[in-house]
């Protein structure tokens, strides 16, 4: 099993330590620098996020693809706002123009008020997962059917649908912790995406999704999202993590945002928030920011020296994680540090692991 690293281009060089509320302003100079730095740093892909007030993820990916040659792109995409037939052609076109460097991360939903900004009102979570299920079915037919086809479903109808452009290889990433999400992931996910939780929790999720996928004759990969905090010594790394927590706390208090009593709307955040009741888990897992922000998105990390964090990543690798989505609190500077100090170390350790497995099997 190989290991892949996914970085992040969040439109500008800020994070929770700079602004209490997420900034989605587009800084072209940052996008350029982040794409080039993460390609040079050995990242396999970068995630381009999606939001109802954000720059458009596919257009940002197209721009970044034009100034790089090897870096792949994980384009976050939300069903419900674009017809799946059109989305299939858009993504396939981006894949072809980039030389086969595109994957799509299907984001089923968010908070009701966030969804409503784009006109998705009065839909229930279970309905959204049913919609995602049907949406991906149509995407895949557009990408594979050699002849026009008809589709008549609960959410979409098309007559004579056909795409003249097909992707070279366009993996589908999918996440979600609810039973509805697991069922859709089992049918469709090429890679199932998890947030950073304890080894026991991640191992349980891997087994659950593998079982769901096996019912459909499928065997997906697994991606884990983390915010590594690294320094030359373990003491310095934990001091850095503590400083991040205090800055996030100060920013949220100054903006009048809550730091306790959070009630996140999705099952994954609820579970992660329970994990965050203790700021340190499994020696390296750090949940200080998750605790303050209500486990909003990718908010847990691993803390230590590059060697210590690499070893912690390998523990997840050993239970089935083959993709690591890593991003920092100083987005550009941290991505450069990861490319220089962390990614090569993990790849080296994984290569030794695989060599040992081959030696034992021979």
Averaged pLDDT, 302-323:
97
Model confidence at 325: pLDDT above 70: yes
Q: What is the pLDDT of residues 336-348, one digit of tens each?
A: 999 999 999 999 9
Strand 285-286 to 280-281 pairing:
antiparallel
Can you give the pLDDT at residue 110? 67
Can you give the pLDDT at residue 105? 98
Question: Do 272 and 266 contact (CB within 8 A), yes or no?
Answer: no
Q: Which residues contact 21 (CB under 8 A, 6 or more apart)?
A: 255, 257
Can you give the pLDDT at residue 276? 47
Give dist(CA 9, CA 350) in Å, integer: 26
Q: What is the pLDDT of residues 179-198, one digit of tens each?
A: 999 999 999 999 999 999 99
Please, is 279 exposed, middle or buried when counting C-beta atoms within 10 Å of its C-beta (0-12, 13-18, 19+)? Answer: middle
Can you give the pLDDT at residue 279? 54
Can you give the pLDDT at residue 191? 98
More confident residue, 118 or 217: 217
Q: Which residues contact 71 (CB under 8 A, 6 or more apart)?
A: 35, 38, 39, 43, 44, 45, 46, 64, 65, 101
Instruction: Provide the angle, in degrees to the nearest 10, between the axes of the packed helices 199-214 and 179-188.
Output: 60
CA distances from 254 to 23, 25, 290, 297 (A): 16, 21, 18, 21
Give dist(CA 156, CA 163) in Å, integer: 16
Q: What is the pLDDT of residues 114-143, one digit of tens each?
A: 777 777 777 777 899 999 999 999 999 999
Q: What angle do CA 288, 57, 166 make, to 5 degrees?
A: 125
Give dist(CA 68, CA 66) in Å, integer: 6
Can you give the pLDDT at residue 356? 86
Model confidence at 157: pLDDT above 70: yes
Q: What is the pLDDT of residues 258-310, one digit of tens each?
A: 777 556 555 555 555 555 455 567 889 999 998 888 767 788 999 999 999 99
Choice among 3-7, 74-78, 161-165, 256-260 with the minimum mean pLDDT: 256-260
More confident residue, 101 or 123: 101
SS3 123: coil
| Mean residue pLDDT across the chain | 92
Q: What is the pLDDT of residues 19-78, one digit of tens each?
A: 988 888 999 999 999 999 999 999 999 999 998 889 999 999 999 999 999 999 999 999
Can you give the pLDDT at residue 118? 74
Can you give the pLDDT at residue 267? 56
pTM of the predicted model as reported, rounded to 2 decimal places: 0.92
Model confidence at 219: pLDDT above 80: yes
Model confidence at 314: pLDDT above 50: yes
């Amino acid at each position: 099993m190989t290991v892949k690293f996914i970085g992040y281009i969040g439109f500008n060089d800020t994070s929770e330590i700079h602004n209490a509320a997420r900034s989605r302003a587009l800084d072209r100079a940052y996008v350029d620098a982040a794409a080039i730095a993460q390609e040079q740093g050995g990242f396999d892909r970068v995630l381009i996020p999606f939001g109802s007030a954000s720059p458009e993820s596919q257009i940002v990916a197209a721009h970044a693809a034009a100034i790089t040659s090897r870096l792949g792109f994980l384009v976050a995409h939300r069903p419900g706002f674009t017809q799946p037939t059109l989305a299939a052609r858009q993504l396939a076109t981006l894949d072809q123009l980039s030389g086969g460097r595109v994957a799509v991360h299907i984001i089923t939903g968010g908070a009701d008020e966030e969804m409503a900004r784009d006109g998705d009102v009065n839909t229930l979570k279970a309905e959204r997962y049913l919609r995602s299920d049907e949406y991906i079915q149509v995407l895949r037919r557009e990408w594979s059917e050699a002849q026009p086809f008809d589709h008549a479903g609960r959410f979409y109808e098309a007559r004579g649908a056909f795409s003249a452009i097909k992707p070279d290889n366009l993996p589908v990433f999918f996440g979600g912790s609810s039973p509805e999400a697991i069922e859709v992931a089992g049918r469709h996910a090429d890679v199932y995406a998890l947030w950073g939780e304890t080894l026991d929790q991640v191992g349980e999720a891997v087994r659950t999704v593998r079982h769901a996928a096996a019912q459909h004759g499928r065997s997906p990969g697994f991606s884990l999202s983390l915010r590594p905090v690294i320094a030359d010594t373990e003491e310095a790394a934990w001091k850095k993590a503590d400083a991040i927590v205090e800055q996030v706390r100060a920013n949220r208090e100054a903006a009048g945002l809550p730091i306790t009593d959070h009630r996140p709307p999705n099952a994954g955040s609820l579970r992660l928030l329970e994990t965050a009741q203790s700021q340190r888990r499994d020696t390296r897992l750090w949940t200080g920011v998750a605790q303050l922000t209500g486990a909003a998105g990718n908010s847990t990390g691993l803390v230590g020296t590059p060697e210590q964090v690499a070893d912690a990543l390998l523990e997840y690798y050993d239970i089935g994680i083959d993709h690591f989505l890593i991003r920092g609190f100083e987005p550009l500077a941290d991505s450069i540090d990861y490319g220089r100090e962390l990614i090569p170390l993990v790849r080296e350790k994984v290569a030794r692991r695989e060599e040992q497995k081959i030696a034992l099997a021979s």
